[in-house]
Amino acid sequence: MARFTLERVIRATPTEVFAAALDPALHVESMARYDETMVKGPDGGVFTEGSTVTWRARHFGVPFHLSSVVFDIDPPRRFCDRQAKGPFGAFHHEHVFEVHPQGTLMRDTITFRSPFGPIGALVDRLFMREYMRRLIDERGAVLATALER
């Protein structure tokens, strides 16, 4: 499994950063570059424990659908999401929010595996890990900009 962790300090409280990270509209805004839209959103329009969502996006010129479930919500410290159905063999994203002297330290830990066994492992090593790292970093930058306005 490929894995990486990104950290970013955001000048906002953990409660504000936690809420922004769970905001479906802000997620769509952060993934606009990839034409990501929400096909089926969470009940009530807000992510809560056990919420499921289906996204449509375009990566490498190919359209994808990915359904994920949100779980282990512990406001304002942590939540996770994982792929329930989609292009990955496995995908897990842990979001952690810690008090920092300048606001909040947001830590994203991504663990994933591409399909197709050894070929997928090679793809992960050669470029998918870096591609996913850039995507999550871009998402974090959009969250920070929205919160620090």
Would you give per-residue pLDDT tens digits along the chain (149 residues)?
A: 999 999 999 999 999 999 999 999 999 999 999 999 999 988 788 899 999 999 999 999 999 999 999 999 999 999 999 999 999 999 999 999 999 999 999 999 999 999 999 999 999 999 999 999 999 999 999 999 999 98
Which ranges in 31-128 belong to alpha helices (H)? 117-123
Q: How many contiguous H segments (helices) and E segments (strands) does the chain have? A: 4, 7
Long-range contacts of 79-84 (CB under 8 A, 24+ apart): 79/18, 79/21, 79/22, 79/47, 84/52
Domains of the chain (ranges; CATH) run 2-148 (3.30.530.20)
